[in-house]
Amino acid sequence: MQKFFTSESVTEGHPDKVCDQIADAILDEFLKGDPESRVACEVAVTTGFVLIMGEITSKVDVDVEKVARETIKSIGYNRPELGFSGDTCEIKILLGKQSPDIALGVDNSLEHRETDEEYDRIGAGDQGIMFGYASDETASYMPMAIQLAHDLAKRLTEVRKKGIIPYLRPDGKTQVSIEYEGDKVKRVEAIVVSSQHNPEITMEVLRRDIKKEVIEYVVPAELLDRNTKYYINPTGRFVLGGPAGDSGITGRKIIVDTYGGYAAHGGGSFSGKDPTKVDRSATYFLRYVAKNIVAAGAAKRCEIQASYAIGKARPVSVSVNTYCSGIVSEEKIVETILSVFDLRPKAMIDKLQLSRPIYLKTASCGHFGRDSFPWERCDKVDEIKQYLGLK
């Protein structure tokens, strides 16, 4: 029986990703001057216009408009003919301070009022459910379809900025369909690449160049065969793109940001949020936990859910789903997680050093599967093996 799964990604020039990058660039600037800044920044864009809104409490002042304009231009929106330019767009800023009712629980958690323990000090910045996931399907412990989709999106940006395909513009989308044989990746069934381009280029040239310089450069040849389908700019024209072609909003690509639909999602977005927001820090930390569980050989796939209550440091619940791939019970893996890892916000922030200005680079082509991020470390493998009695 044939089994397929498809995931998509988008380039840094996609309007939703423009918003995510502006929000995270602003967050980084506040964290540079004040690592304890509380930032909840949302961004919306459309033709020639940017709206920056939310709540920020910090000891430092940041020229938010300047940060936004520099971010837009670095993406490649720096010419009026693109319909959106960092030099000319209108920017409206509506930023207040964090609600004191929220700060009350974040700064002094329910547990801290009783224990006075340092890691009990910071409570979760909101209620919610978060998920982490890892799979042994690829070297990055990511599902194959989303990994290849991200790699294609990154390559689209690379060939544009390096002048390898100089007529491309910033906006673009990728999609990969994988055929499985049992639980093993068999081949690539289909690849979709749509890239914004200059008006004078022909589809024949564009399709030839993208197939050679993007698809064949990224996708391993052994996964491609004569039956693989290619859909390159299938509409035949993609000149108008970015915020001029479609409005964008922060946090609207949460499945692209995580596991491409392979794993559950709690619904919270990441960009523009400081790490006291467990939507961000707990999701990163649970990826770290899941990756170490799989790397230790306790399971071939591992999805972890944690839930939090606002103002409470310790998670309300933790559960595990190994999709029947574990060599020990899911209950034993939960026991291991609670013994080896500390899921309180301050503990997670300190372990992964999340108060640093590291977030802009997460805001395009996925938050997971890149070794440069601290939540991708596999430094708990030996401890997990020892706890579970694994060789």
Q: Is residue 334 part of a domain?
A: no
Instruction: Share the mean pLDDT of the chain.
Output: 95
Residue 290 forms part of a structural domain:
no
Q: Does the pLDDT at position 117 exceed 90?
A: no
CATH number for 194: 3.30.300.10
- Whether residue 64 is contained in a domain is answered as no
Average the pLDDT over 345-350 and give the result.
95
Does the pLDDT at position 317 exceed 90?
yes
Any idea which of 24-38, 113-127, 251-265 has the lowest mean pLDDT?
Answer: 113-127
Is residue 92 one of the residues assigned to a domain? no
pLDDT over 80 at 102, yes or no: no
Is the model's pLDDT at 101 over the cut of 80? no
**How would residue 126 be classed by pLDDT, with cut points 50, 70 and 90?**
confident
Closest CA to 306 of 316, 294, 297: 316
List pLDDT tens digits, range 148-177: 999 999 999 999 999 999 999 999 999 999
Residue 135 has pLDDT above 80, yes or no: yes
Q: How far apart are CA 257 and CA 255, in angstroms?
A: 5
Q: Is 261 part of a structural domain of the chain?
A: no
**Residue 212, domain member (yes or no):** yes
Sign of CA dihedral 121, 55, 132, 134: negative
| H or E element at residue 349 | helix 345-352
Q: Decide if pLDDT at 345 tops 90.
A: yes
Q: What is the 3-state secondary structure (H, E, C) of 163-230?
A: CCCCCEEEEEEEEEEEEEECCEEEEEEEEEEEEEECCCCCHHHHHHHHHHHHHHHHCCHHHCCCCCEE
Of the chain, the percentage scoring pLDDT greater than 70 comes to 97
Domain holding 157, by residue range, is 3-9+144-240
Per-residue confidence band for 111, with pLDDT thresholds at 50, 70 and 90: low
- Angle at Cα 388 formed by Cα 382 and Cα 391, nearest 5°? 60
- Asked whether 244 and 84 are in contact (CB, 8 A), the reply is yes
pLDDT greater than 90 at residue 89? yes
Q: What is the pLDDT of residue 110?
A: 64
- Beta carbons within 8 Å of 222's beta carbon, 6+ residues apart: none
pTM of this structure: 0.95
CA dihedral 221, 260, 161, 192 (to 10 degrees): 60
pLDDT average, residue stretch 76-101: 91
Point out the least confidently predicted range of 32-41, 105-114, 271-280. Answer: 105-114
The answer as to whether 190 is a domain residue is yes
- Total number of domains constituting the chain: 1
In a domain, 163, yes or no: yes
pLDDT score of 99 more than 80: no
